[in-house]
Amino acid sequence: MELNSRIPDGPIEKKWDNHKFDLKLVNPANKRKYKVLVVGSGLAGGAAAASLAELGYEVECFCYQDSPRRAHSIAAQGGINAAKNYHNDGDSVRRLFYDTVKGGDFRAREANVHRLAEVSNNIIDQCVGQGVPFAREYGGLLDNRSFGGAQVSRTFYARGQTGQQLLLGAYQALQRQVGLGTVKMFARHEMHELIVVDGVAKGIVTRDMVTGEIKSHLADAVCLATGGYGNTMYLATYAKGCNGTAIWRAHKKGAAFANPCFTQIHPTCIPVTGDHQSKLTLMSESLRNDGRIWVPKKKEDCGKPASQIPEDDRDYYLERKYPSYGNLAPRDIASRAAKQVCDDGRGIGETGLGVYLDFDAAIKRLGANKIEEKYGNLFEMYERITDENPYKTPMRIFPATHYTMGGLWVDYNLMSTIPGLFVLGEANFSDHGANRLGASALMQGLADGYFVIPYTIGGYLAGIKPGSRIKAEDPAVKAAEQYVSDRVAKLFAINGKETPTHFHRELGKVMWEFCGMGRNEAGLKKALQLIPQIREEFWKNLRIPGSGADVNQSLELAGRVADFLEIGELMCLDALERRESCGGHFREEWQTEEGEALRDDENFCHVAAWEHKGEGQTPVRHVEPLSFENVHLATRSYK
C-alpha cells in the first residue's frame, strides 16, 4: 500500500492557494453528469452535500437518523474557532495553525492544519450568512470567548448550542438543495457496504431502516462523513446511533485506517451513576473558563459535602500543576490529571470517580446572573440529570470518551487509499493529531465540507469521463448486495440468548479499562485476548427478535456492535504498537517523572495507517512520516 499524502510544494502559506489553482476544473455544463454520494449529514456531510449540489453535481445524501438535522454534530456545545482576530489580542492564521499542531502533540500533518486555519475565517462568514445566531455584543458585533488550550479569544459561540446552530445552518442549506431537487436525501438509511470496482469506489449498498430494503447506489465518487467510532467504548458522549460501520466497511475494502488508537477523553462529563447507564453527557469545556476544578487534599475528606471542606484543604490541581493555563489546560492533560487524583484515592462522589467543577468563586465575582447568562442551559441540563443545583453545590465531573482523532487515512485532497472514496470530518484522521483542541471539531467538519471537498473532488472528477458509472447489473454490485443480505441473515441465524447491548457493554468495559486514559503493554495484550473472545461469544449467542423487513433496532445495533468488536481490536493493536505517549494516547511506560506524556519523536513521528489483509489475518501497519518545518518539534508545556 502506498501512502502518498500529495502535499503540494511551496511555502506553507502558499500550498493551498497553489493547489487550488493546480486542481483541474470540471466544465460547468458537465457537472450535472457526475453523481456524488455523501454518507452522513452532520457538519462535514451536510456542508459537503449542500456545497457540491450548489456547484451543480448530482448528489445523494444518506443518514441513519430520521432527519439530517439530527446528526451528532448537533451536540457540540462550546464553540468554533476562527482566526478572525476581532479582539485584537494577537490571533492570526499562523497562531491558530501553531496552536493546533502543538495541541495535537505533533502528530498531525502541518499542511492540512494550515489549510484548516486559513479557511476558518471563511467558515464564520459562511455561517453568519446562513443566519446562524452567534452570540453578539451590545454593539452588534460578534462575541468571542477563549477555549481550552488557547490563550486568545477566538471561539465563536451560540450560547451552549454552537454545534446545533452550525448544523442547522448546514441542514438548511442542504434542505434548500433538496427542495431544488439537486440533492436526493435518504434519511433512515444506513450504509452497509462500499462498492469497489478495479480498486475504485463506485457506490454503496444501503439498508432502508424502515422497510429493510437493501439497495445499491452507484456514483462517480463517494464521500464518507460518518463521524467517529468512539462508541466502541460503549459509554461515550456520542449519540447512541453513532457507529463505525461505514468506515469499517471501507477499511475492509482497502481504505487504510490511520491512528485508530487516538481517542479523546473529554475531561468534563457527568459521572456514571450505575450499570444501567447508556451514555455519558458532556458538560461544555467552556465551563472551565469560570469553573475551578478541585478535589480534597485529604482522602478522608472525600465523603464530606463540598461545602464542609475548607479552602485550605482543597487541591486545585490544574491550577497547581499548570499555572499558566490552569483550568484551561488541553483536554488530554485535564483528563489525565483527573484520573491521577482519582487513582490517588481522592475522587469524589459515591463511586470515587469524579472531581469538582466549582463556580462559587465566579458567582461571587460576576454574580449569579452573569453566570446564568453564560451557562444557564448547561446548568439546567446538569440539574436535570443529577438533581443537584450547580449554583449551590459544585458540579461533579469525570472524563469520558468524546472524539476519535484517528480515522480513515486521507491525502491532502481528503481522498482515502481507495481512489474515488473521500473521507470528511471526524471520520478521517488528518487534522488533530493525537489530541484535538476545544472548538476545533466544528471547524474541521465545516472546513472539509464547505471549503475543501468542493475543490478537491473536482480535481478527481475532472479526471474521469462523464457517464462512466458502472451499471446496476455489474457483478461487483450484485456481490456487494449479496454480502449485505447474507450478513443480515447471518445475524438472525445465530438465535442465541443475549442482547446486542450486552456484548457492546462487555466490549466497552474492556476498551475503557485497557485502552482508555492510561494504556500499557500488559493491559493491551490482555484486551487483544479478551476482545476476540467477546466477538466469538457474540457470533454464537446473539439474539435478535423480529424480522429484517420492518424497523428492527436490535438488528441495527447488532450490525454496529459486530463492527465495534473488530474496530476495538484494531484500536488496541495500534495502541500497543505505538510505543510512546502523545496527546490522548498515554502509554504508562512512557511518561516523565511528573507523569506527563513522553513522546518518542525519533521512532514515532509518523502516522500509522493500517491495511486490512482479510478476515482473521493480522492487519499490516504502514507509516507516513511527519515532518515539522514550520512548528518545531518540542515538548508541549502548559505550565
**Exactly one of 14, 24, 32, 136 binds another protein (CB under 8 A); which one?**
136
Beta strands in 530-625 (DSSP E): 606-611, 620-625
Interacting span for another protein (CB under 8 A) from 23-31, 61-69, 604-612, 624-632 = 61-69
Q: Is the torsion defined by CA of 9, 11, 13, 18 positive or negative?
A: negative
Mark whether 331 is an active-site residue.
Answer: yes
Amino acid at the residue 569 = E
Q: Name the residue nearer to another protein (CB basis): 307 or 553.
A: 553
Q: Name the residue nearer to another protein (CB basis): 30 or 499.
A: 499
- 355-358 and 395-404 beta bridge pairing: antiparallel
In terms of Cα–Cα distance, which of 290, 242, 231, 250 is closest to 504? Answer: 231
Binders of another protein among residues 138 to 167 (CB under 8 A) are: 138-142, 158-159, 161, 164-165
Q: Name the residue nearer to another protein (CB basis): 551 or 620.
A: 551
Check residue 539 for interaction with another protein (CB under 8 A).
no
Grid look-up 449479496 returns 482
- Catalytic-labelled residue, pool 154, 159, 292, 331: 331
Annotate each residue in 426-455 with x if it binds another protein (CB under 8 A) or - if it does not, as one string.
------------------------xx--x-
Interacting span for another protein (CB under 8 A) from 268-276, 432-440, 506-514, 602-610 = 268-276
Check residue 168 for interaction with another protein (CB under 8 A).
yes
Interacting span for another protein (CB under 8 A) from 43-51, 225-233, 249-257, 418-426 = 43-51
Check residue 371 for interaction with another protein (CB under 8 A).
no
C-alpha triplet 87, 91, 93: angle, nearest 5°: 130
Check residue 65 for interaction with another protein (CB under 8 A).
yes
Q: Do residues 429 and 258 make contact, with C-beta atoms less than 8 angstroms apart?
A: yes
Within 8 A by CB and 6+ apart from 65, the residues are 41, 71, 187, 188, 241
**Exactly one of 381, 517, 534, 567 binds another protein (CB under 8 A); which one?**
381
Burial of 180 (0-12, 13-18, 19+ CB in 10 A): exposed
Grid look-up 481528503 returns 414
**Exactly one of 86, 98, 316, 483 binds another protein (CB under 8 A); which one?**
86
Check residue 47 for interaction with another protein (CB under 8 A).
yes
* Site size for another protein (CB under 8 A): 94
From residue 621, give the alpha-carbon distance in Å to each of 2, 330, 355, 416: 12, 29, 38, 16
Check residue 279 for interaction with another protein (CB under 8 A).
yes
Binders of another protein among residues 483 to 512 (CB under 8 A) are: 497-499, 501-502
Q: Name the residue nearer to another protein (CB basis): 351 or 630.
A: 351
Annotate each residue in 111-130 with x if it binds another protein (CB under 8 A) or - if it does not, as one string.
-----------x-xxxxxxx
Q: Name the residue nearer to another protein (CB basis): 48 or 631.
A: 48
Q: How far is the CB of 284 from another protein (least distance, A)?
A: 11
User: Cα separation of 237 and 575, whole Å?
Assistant: 21
Cα 369 to its chain centre, rounded Å, is: 34
Annotate each residue in 234-253 with x if it binds another protein (CB under 8 A) or - if it does not, as one string.
---x-xxx------------
At 143, give phi and psi (nearest 5°). -95, 155
Q: Do residues 195 and 202 make contact, with C-beta atoms less than 8 angstroms apart?
A: yes
Q: Tell me the residue length of the chain.
A: 639
Binders of another protein among residues 540 to 599 (CB under 8 A) are: 543-546, 550-554
Other C-beta atoms lying within 10 Å of the C-beta of residue 18: 13
Q: How far is the CB of 281 from another protein (least distance, A)?
A: 5
Q: Which residues are catalytic?
A: 331
